[in-house]
Amino acid sequence: MINRIKGLQNQMNLNVDKRNDIIRINRLAKTAIDIFNDILNKKSLDKKDLELIIDKIIVFEDRIHVKLKADIDNLLKVGVVTTFYY
C-alpha cells in the first residue's frame, strides 16, 4: 500500500509539472501574440517592428515572398496550448 501511495504521489507530481509547463507556454504564447497584434495594429511599421517578425524577404519578378521568423510562424499555425495531457 505504501508503494502504491508513493506511485500515486509521483503521478500527481508529474501531472502538476505538466500543468505548470502548459501554463508557462500559454503565458509565452500570449505575450508573443500580444506583441504581434500590437505590431499589426500600428499605422506604420518601423525597422525594429519588421526585424521582430520577419526572417527574410525574397523578391521575384512577379511576387514577393515574406518568411516570418519561426516562432511567429508557429504561433500563427498553432495558437495557444489548451489541452492537458496526463
Residue 86: the pLDDT is 43
pTM: 0.43
DSSP state of 69: P
Say yes or no to pLDDT of 80 above 50. Answer: no
The sign of the torsion formed by the CA atoms of 79, 82, 84, 85 equals: negative
Residue 73: the pLDDT is 62
Residue 65: the pLDDT is 93
Say yes or no to pLDDT of 46 above 50. Answer: yes
Say yes or no to pLDDT of 60 above 90. Answer: yes
Cβ distance 79 to 29 under 8 Å? yes
The domain segmentation of the chain, as residue ranges, is 2-78
